[in-house]
Structure 1
Amino acid sequence: METLLLWLFYISTFYAFIPGIISRIFGYRVFRRGIGVKDFALTFDDGPDPQYTPKLLDLLNKYNAKATFFVVGSHAERYPELIRRMHAEGHLIGIHNYVHKSNWLMRPGTVCKQIQRTDDIIYGITGERSTYYRPPWGIVNLFDFSKRRHVKIVLWSAMFGDWRTNLGVDRLTEKMLARLNPGEVMLLHDCGLTLGADPEAPEQMLAALERTLEEAKVRGLNSIRVDEMIKAAEKSSLARMSFSKRLLVGLWLLWERCFHFLFRLRTVSPALPFLHYRLRAYQGHSVSLDDGTTLSKGDQVIELHIDNHQLFELGMQSRSAAQLAIRMIRRMDKDMPYLAEIIAGDDALSEAKALYGISMINRGPEKFGFTVKDMPKGLFASLTKFYLSILLSVIHPAGGARLKERSEALVPKIIVMPVSQLLDSYGQKCTGAKLHRRQAAGPEHEEDMAEAELPGAHAH
């Protein structure tokens, strides 16, 4: 009996658990997120539903938004007029199995039959085959990867728990707005009949979605179909990465999440994160500040960190080092006044002596009032240089070639600024500003800007 249980454990681990972890963390053979600067994707699972799907289609039509529906085959078979309407109104129709059952609980042949049967139903209604597939609950098994030539597995980058009514419209709206970013693939549900869901939950989803679409309109963001987002992503540098580099990026971004959790970083602009910070006691050597004071061990500092995910995306979207630097400078320029506003409104932060960070390649921070200082030689400096060298090779448009060209310049530096100087420089600019408005601005055309060096990747 123990041997049988052990074999079942091994089989379930290799059949389901490990493939699920690989796809979720590293995005192996699945699509989870796009790279657009103005587009995001709304995706809806479990429908169609005769009560809520027509309301959803009306709402999408009102805001000229296109979406992707991963339909349950048995529901599509029951309500063909809704599938016909989705197709006629320009939405993408994907497969969500014939019945809403986990792939972990089905043999590979059964999963294939579920997909084929649903595809046949969609084809019989619309005259078009579906090549996009989302397994129920996003759970993949080992053999799902082998079906890649026949269907494209689509997961998501943002999930909100909209299948439960206890969340409430306001909280759901808040969660959706916090993830209303370019490239996001949002998971929502237009049917509440799935096991574990509340039947009335889609009503709350529709109310929160309307608020979200209204805000997207203000920010100039558009909801597009997943196939359009995939085509854009396939043209990017990311799609041409080797698996080893994709693995490195996945590990790096996983470390980003762990670091944020462990050290409780806060974000200047949560809806479009770029600059993070935390209050801590300074532990380094004494540093002279521009205001004549000295930063000493034990003094409170506001430690700054640039968001690794945003840094990676900016690197992938940039055609040159100069363009990457310009985009980083512009993002930093938008966040600095709001950082000053946050500090001014927080007694603990305003009592800190200085802003502090570690930077690599150091033309740029002076623009914002930072002073660049050499790091004392030692183990920390060596480890920091090693980490930032890997970081730069990942996000820099020239990749590892940049390290060979300018290896002597890749020296980590301290960037530091008295908090009083930040408040004096930016305090008047941000008085009375509405924080959410900063999220409306998107990347501008950078080609007409003068060339600049990469201002630095801050160490985690």
Structure 2
Amino acid sequence: MQTLLLWLFYLSSFYAFIPGLITRIFGFRVFRRGTGKQDFALTFDDGPDPVYTPQLLDLLKRYDMKATFFLVGSHAESHPDVVKQIHEEGHLIGIHNYIHKSNWLMRPKTVRMQLKRTDDIIYSVTGERPTFYRPPWGIVNLFDFAKNSGYRIVLWSAMFGDWRSKTGSNKLVKRILRKLKPGEVMLLHDCGTTVGANPDAPMNMLIALEQVLEEAQRRNLKSIRIDTMINSEKKLQKAKLSIMKRMVVSLWLLWEKVFHVLFQLETVTPKDPMLHFRPISYQGKAVTMDDGTRLEKGDQVLELHFDNKKLFHIGSRSRSEMQLAIQMIRAMQKDLPTLANMVLERPEYMDIKGLYGVTMISRGPEQFGFHVQDLPQGLFASSARIYLKILLSIIHPRGQSRLKEGSKKMEPKLLMMPVDVLINRYAEKGSRSYRSPKQDSAEEHELSDLPIGSASQGLSS
């Protein structure tokens, strides 16, 4: 028996108590407060009531305030004319179950049936489906917590005990005025037929609310609908993220300037930079590229770097990933011929065996002649993954959402191009004759009998 009671305790805690505690204390997956400068939200539960709700609507109209009504389905079914008036006067309607019963005491299927029945009643009167839900007493179960209902759950930041007649209007005024601040979501009741409430309690609420609305006008505060408050929150959050993004971009571009100086990067086309590069000694594992060229540790390569400022400007102007890719392709098509001619014309690049780079935007580089492969696992791969994901979240037109589409699609890739491919595909006709490392190796013994100085002069002429 004790074991059974213990299991029942665990089950009830998992199903009801823990989700309720997390939502009420931490606000997880519920909306309960805004951050507006001049707006607060009046919300009313348990209605509609044929006596008190029309009086409330008249009061709100007189002070030009909007509110949100969480309706009990059975009450809405009995008083469709009041539901219609709420809707026509521009207030928001949400669901408060078909009957005022705690979700802790109902199975998930029963809760869904209550929601659907109330939804259908409201839709039949207003022609609109409600999208917001306040469970009775603000109590959620595991399935509400998991957002299986499909509705946005709205709780509150302030409640005042207005369902009890003994509270009185004077005490209510004092309690509400203490919470009359921007961003508050106030819970009041326009019906007193719920178990535990007093039938005449809404009259005290109406008397108190009139004084509160008078004071709200004096303070230049306005009650708005919950959906308006949530949309304002989204815009504000977006603006904050935009400011944060600009700060991050500024710091990133400053770091890029420092990086270019520290590692002596050269720019292919300084007037319109896209590709930067530096000669380095390849330190990775041996790789056989698509044309059979083998890149081994110690070989000389040109390490490529995209211009982050250019990428950011392209990303900010692009409305889709396709537009971003097209702009990058055009920039690459412009820079690769210039880079090929630079390799041909500069004696110091005569030993370069290929191009080398790491990128997160690796769709379609094969069309340029690049060999693409995964980075070998290790510290460099891990750090490159973090760095490039941060960069992509800033420059990509869909930002963070692009990073959630699967880790395999967003893995950094190693790009390599044999120098032969670079020269043959991109160098201008009539450029200086190119001697690849393969040709130099084949003729090495012919030059071995010459003095070092002569060989050097021949290569540098």
Structure 1 length-normalised TM: 0.51
Name which one, 1 or 2, has greater alpha-carbon Rg: 2
State the AA in 2 paired with 1:60. L
Label 1:36 to 1:81 Cα distance change in 2 as closer, same or farther (>3 A): same
Instruction: Report the counterpart of residue 161 of structure 1 in structure 2.
Output: 161
Instruction: Report the counterpart of residue 216 of structure 1 in structure 2.
Output: 216
1:138 aligns with 2:138: yes
Deviation of the 1:53 alpha carbon: 0.5
CA deviation map 1:175-213 (0-9, x unaligned): 000000000000000000000001110000000000000
1:113 aligns with 2:117: no
CA deviation map 1:283-330 (0-9, x unaligned): xxxxxxxxxxxxxxxxxxxxxxxxxxxxxxxxxxxxxxxxxxxxxxxx
Check whether the contact 1:35–1:182 (CA below 8 A) recurs between aligned residues.
yes
Check whether the contact 2:35–2:183 (CA below 8 A) recurs between aligned residues.
yes
CA deviation map 1:10-55 (0-9, x unaligned): 0111111111111011110000001100000000000000110010
Check whether the contact 2:143–2:149 (CA below 8 A) recurs between aligned residues.
no
Instruction: Report the counterpart of residue 265 of structure 1 in structure 2.
Output: none
Task: Find the aligned partners of 2:43 and 2:190 in 1 and give their Cα distance.
Answer: 10
Per the alignment, in what secondary structure is the counterpart of residue 187 of structure 2? Answer: strand
Question: For structure 1, which runs of at least 5 residues remain unmatched after alignment?
Answer: 242-460
Alignment of 1:247-326 (within 5 A): none
State the AA in 2 paired with 1:137. W
Label 1:9 to 1:169 Cα distance change in 2 as closer, same or farther (>3 A): same
Instruction: Report the counterpart of residue 4 of structure 2 in structure 1.
Output: 4
Task: Find the aligned partners of 1:188 and 1:4 in 2 and give their Cα distance.
Answer: 40
Per the alignment, in what secondary structure is the counterpart of residue 236 of structure 1? Answer: helix
Per the alignment, in what secondary structure is the counterpart of residue 125 of structure 2? Answer: helix
Instruction: Report the counterpart of residue 199 of structure 2 in structure 1.
Output: 199
Instruction: Report the counterpart of residue 227 of structure 2 in structure 1.
Output: 227
Instruction: Report the counterpart of residue 435 of structure 2 in structure 1.
Output: none
CA deviation map 1:60-94 (0-9, x unaligned): 01101100000000000000000000000000000
Label 1:240 to 1:32 Cα distance change in 2 as closer, same or farther (>3 A): farther
Check whether the contact 2:112–2:149 (CA below 8 A) recurs between aligned residues.
no
Instruction: Report the counterpart of residue 84 of structure 1 in structure 2.
Output: 84
State the 4+ residue runs in structure 1 displaced beyond 4 angstroms.
238-241
Instruction: Report the counterpart of residue 93 of structure 2 in structure 1.
Output: 93
The size of the alignment, in residue pairs, is 241
Instruction: Report the counterpart of residue 33 of structure 1 in structure 2.
Output: 33
Check whether the contact 1:233–1:239 (CA below 8 A) recurs between aligned residues.
no
Instruction: Report the counterpart of residue 270 of structure 2 in structure 1.
Output: none
State the AA in 1 paired with 2:77. E
Label 1:82 to 1:119 Cα distance change in 2 as closer, same or farther (>3 A): same
Deviation of the 1:239 alpha carbon: 11
Deviation of the 1:240 alpha carbon: 8.9
State the AA in 1 paired with 2:135. P
Question: For structure 2, which runs of at least 5 residues remain unmatched after alignment?
Answer: 242-461
Task: Find the aligned partners of 1:175 and 1:231 in 2 and give their Cα distance.
Answer: 28
State the AA in 2 paired with 1:101. K
Deviation of the 1:150 alpha carbon: 1.7
Check whether the contact 2:42–2:67 (CA below 8 A) recurs between aligned residues.
yes
1:129 aligns with 2:112: no
- Name which structure has the greater RCO, CA cutoff 8 Å, separation 6+: 1
Check whether the contact 1:172–1:208 (CA below 8 A) recurs between aligned residues.
yes
Instruction: Report the counterpart of residue 52 of structure 1 in structure 2.
Output: 52
Deviation of the 1:159 alpha carbon: 0.3
Task: Find the aligned partners of 2:105 and 2:23 in 1 and give their Cα distance.
Answer: 18
Per the alignment, in what secondary structure is the counterpart of residue 83 of structure 1? Answer: helix
Check whether the contact 2:160–2:187 (CA below 8 A) recurs between aligned residues.
yes
Deviation of the 1:147 alpha carbon: 2.8
Task: Find the aligned partners of 1:235 and 1:11 in 2 and give their Cα distance.
Answer: 40
Instruction: Report the counterpart of residue 393 of structure 1 in structure 2.
Output: none
Instruction: Report the counterpart of residue 14 of structure 2 in structure 1.
Output: 14
Deviation of the 1:237 alpha carbon: 3.5
